[in-house]
């Protein structure tokens, strides 16, 4: 990448966008969302309204901001040089997401291998929890008792769904590279559908967990890590599905060609990242 630049020096046409109000309003929206959430959690009446205002501002600004970027791109403002910056940005952004999930995986390993055994292994003369023994899944000495989620029902189906969505997405990419637009569009639409079905199953699974298994956020460290890991993953699937839908819409509108399709690739990277997180989840949360 670098050497290519050295051989063909740039001539000062890096696209610096015009002054823009989007960042300022996006920050304002985030402030309102956070403030509203704090008020809501502490039972102050205006909470939900402030949150809704914040979410509305965020949604509107993102819609306009991404719209502006797409328009600039279609206008041909970006060359390969800007493209490299976007790629760098996306790669490092996904890197930060990896570390966010790492924190929750770390909590899972810590509780399973350190804190639960330590609580069970304490000197009976010094512990409040004399009868507590090591087990996994565990609700700890005093968490709500529950039945763990089996791996080979819905979770296995969801694994199959996400893996197939990875395949359909790659198939769509081939279509784009070879100029077969129908394959591209069909592949993307299938991927979006698989994402939606995945989310549907997950919603059903949560309902099952709460109403029939007694597996709740309060079910000790198992419940906590289960819901935080699968919940944040599900949130990322939802985001990814929205982004895929936008890209699908752009493909239908005739955007992208075999050479220039950064947005497509960025979303694909994101989707594969979400896939890999799921595989880890399936193994360490549901299965082992």
Partner 1 sequence: MNTATHTLDGHGGHAHQPGGLLRWLTTTNHKDIGTMYLSFSLLMFFVGGAMILAVRAELFQPGLQLMKPEFFNQLIGVHALVMIFAALMPAATGFANWMIPLMIGAPDMALPRLNNWGFWLLPPAAILLTLPFVLALFGIGDGAVATGWTLYAPLSVQGGIGVDFAIFAIHILGISSIMGSINIIATILNMRAPGMTLMKMPLFCWGWLVTAVLLIVTLPVLAGGVTMLLTDRHFGTHFFDAAGGGDPILFQHLFWFFGHPEVYILLLPVWGLMPHVLSTFSRKPVYGHTGQVWSFVAIGVLGLVVWGHHFMTAGLPVPALLYFMYSTMSISLPLAVLFFCWIATMWRGAMSFETPMLFAVGFIVLFGIAGLTGLVLADVAADAQYHHSYFVVAHFHYALFAGGIMGVMTGVYYWLPKWTGHMYSERLGKLHFWLTVISFNLTFMPQFFLGLAGMPRRIPDYALQFAEFNAISTVGSFVLGLSQLLFAYNIWRCIKGGEKASNGVWEGTHGLEWELSSPPPHHSWETQPVIKD
Contact 130, 142 (CB under 8 A): no
Q: Which residues, including other chains, have CB under 8 Å from residue 245's CB and lie 6 or more apart?
A: 192
Query: CA distances (Å), 234 to each of 58, 184, 203, in order?
Result: 20, 25, 9
Closest to partner 1 by CB, 122 vs 252, is 122
CA dist., res. 130 & res. 224, Å (int): 23
CB of 173 to partner 1, least distance (A): 24
Closest to partner 1 by CB, 114 vs 239, is 114
CB of 184 to partner 1, least distance (A): 28
CB of 218 to partner 1, least distance (A): 4
CB of 46 to partner 1, least distance (A): 11
Contact 64, 7 (CB under 8 A): no
Closest to partner 1 by CB, 194 vs 227, is 227
**Separation of first and last alpha carbons in the chain:** 42
Contact 248, 189 (CB under 8 A): yes
CA dist., res. 131 & res. 120, Å (int): 8
218 — alpha (psi -120 to 50), left (phi > 0) or beta? Answer: alpha
CB of 36 to partner 1, least distance (A): 10
Closest to partner 1 by CB, 98 vs 279, is 98
Closest to partner 1 by CB, 165 vs 216, is 216
């Amino acid at each position: 990448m670098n050497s290519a630049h050295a051989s063909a020096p740039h001539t000062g046409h890096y696209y610096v966008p015009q002054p823009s109000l989007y960042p300022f309003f996006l920050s304002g929206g985030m402030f309102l969302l956070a403030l509203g959430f704090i008020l809501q959690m502490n039972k102050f009446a205006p909470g939900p309204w402030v949150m809704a205002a914040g979410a509305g501002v965020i949604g509107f600004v993102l819609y306009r901001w991404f719209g502006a970027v797409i328009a600039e791109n279609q206008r041909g403002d970006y060359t390969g040089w800007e493209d490299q910056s976007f790629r760098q940005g996306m790669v490092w952004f996904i890197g930060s997401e990896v570390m966010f999930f790492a924190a929750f995986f770390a909590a899972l390993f810590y509780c399973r291998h350190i804190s639960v055994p330590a609580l069970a292994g304490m000197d009976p003369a010094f512990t409040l929890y004399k009868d507590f023994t090591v087990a996994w899944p565990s609700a700890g000495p005093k968490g709500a008792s529950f039945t763990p989620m089996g791996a080979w029902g819905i979770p296995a189906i969801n694994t199959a769904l996400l893996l197939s969505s990875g395949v359909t997405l790659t198939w769509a990419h081939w279509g784009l590279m070879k100029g077969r637009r129908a394959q591209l569009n069909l592949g993307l639409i299938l991927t979006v559908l698989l994402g939606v079905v995945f989310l549907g199953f997950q919603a059903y699974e949560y309902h099952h967990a709460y109403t029939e298994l007694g597996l709740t956020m309060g079910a000790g460290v198992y419940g906590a890590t289960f819901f935080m890991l699968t919940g944040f993953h599900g949130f990322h699937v939802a985001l990814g599905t929205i982004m895929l839908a936008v890209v699908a819409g752009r493909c239908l509108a005739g955007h992208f060609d075999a050479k220039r399709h950064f947005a497509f690739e960025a979303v694909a990277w994101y989707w594969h990242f979400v896939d890999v997180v799921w595989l880890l989840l399936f193994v360490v949360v549901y299965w082992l």
